[in-house]
Every structure is written in C-alpha cells, then in structure tokens.
C-alpha cells in the first residue's frame, strides 16, 4: 500500500498532556483515562482542544512504553495534578496518514521509516500519532491516524 509522505518544518504547539509508562496491553485503558482527564480539565478552564488527540511514543519497549497523551491547545495553560503543559516540539517532521484499524498501522510505520532514510534524514526516536476520529465514532476500517516522526 502506498502512503502520501511529507516533510514539514513546524513551530512548537502548546499542549496539555499526561505522561506515563505502561505496557502495550494496557495502553488503550491508559490513553482513554488520560484523554478523559484532560478533556474534563479543559472544560473546567472553559477551554477547548485546538486539534485532534495525540499520543507521543518515546520508546518502543512494548512492556515499558513511555508515552505522552494529550491535546493541542491555543495557549500555555497551567497544569493540574498529573496534567502538564508540555508543548509538541518545533522542528522537522515526517508524516503520513493511515486509514484503517490501529492493528494495521505497522505497514505505514515501515513505509515512512524507509522513506525518511531514503530522503537522508534520521528519526529522533520520538513518534506522534494524531487521532482524527475514534473507534467509538466510526468503523475500525474508517479510523484516520496521522503518524509523525520527529527527524533530524
């Protein structure tokens, strides 16, 4: 399957996040809880997310995944409890969109990794996934996810 890959230079994006270490098996529960906490806190502040929910992966250790879940916001906001202000970093990013069940995203990851290398860039090891809809809203075959590697 072919993917539309692109490289962009982005500015830092304000975001509220929750950072945790979890296993891949527990990830859906951890992600759902974090998104719920952040959305509730944004409502408390009278604010709205500026864009889609995201998860940042800082490693690929399936037993000890270091992840940060969050939402982009308009401006710097104070954190509360385990919710922190943590901007999405500025810099070069390589991305592609994937449509389908989360379990099939590996082919997009492989394609994008190969493309990045062919273009002469090196992934930093941090990957963001942006979720434009959810399994609660659409069929798994209609899920739309943007995969974004930070590169140098």
Per-residue pLDDT, 2: 67
Q: What is the pLDDT along the chain (152 residues), one digit of tens a residue?
A: 568 899 999 999 999 999 999 999 999 999 999 999 999 999 999 999 999 999 999 998 999 999 999 999 999 999 999 999 999 999 999 999 999 999 999 999 999 999 999 999 999 999 999 999 999 899 999 999 999 999 99
What pLDDT, on the 0 to 100 scale, is given for residue 34? 98
Torsions phi, psi of 8, nearest 5? -130, 160
Helices (H), 1-152: 27-45, 106-118
Per the CB < 8 A criterion, the answer to whether 96 and 2 are in contact is no
Q: Does domain 5-151 have CATH number 3.30.70.1400?
A: no
Q: Report H helices in 23-146.
A: 27-45, 106-118
User: Is 103 strand, coil or helix?
Assistant: helix
Token representation of residue 79: 């954190």
Distance, CA of 123 to CA of 5 (rounded, Å): 14
């Amino acid at each position: 399957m072919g993917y539309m890959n692109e490289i962009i230079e982005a500015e830092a994006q304000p975001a509220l996040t929750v950072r945790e270490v979890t296993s891949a098996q527990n990830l859906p529960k951890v992600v759902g809880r974090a998104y719920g906490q952040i959305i509730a806190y944004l409502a408390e502040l009278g604010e709205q997310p500026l864009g889609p929910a995201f998860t940042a992966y800082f490693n690929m250790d399936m037993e000890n995944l270091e992840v940060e879940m969050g939402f982009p916001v308009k401006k710097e906001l104070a954190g509360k409890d385990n919710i922190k202000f943590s901007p999405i970093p500025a810099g070069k990013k390589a991305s592609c969109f994937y449509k389908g069940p989360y379990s099939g995203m590996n082919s997009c990851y492989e394609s994008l990794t190969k493309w990045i290398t062919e273009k002469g860039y090196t992934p930093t090891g941090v990957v963001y996934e942006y979720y434009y809809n959810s399994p609660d809203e659409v069929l798994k075959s209609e899920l739309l996810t943007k995969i974004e590697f930070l590169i140098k």
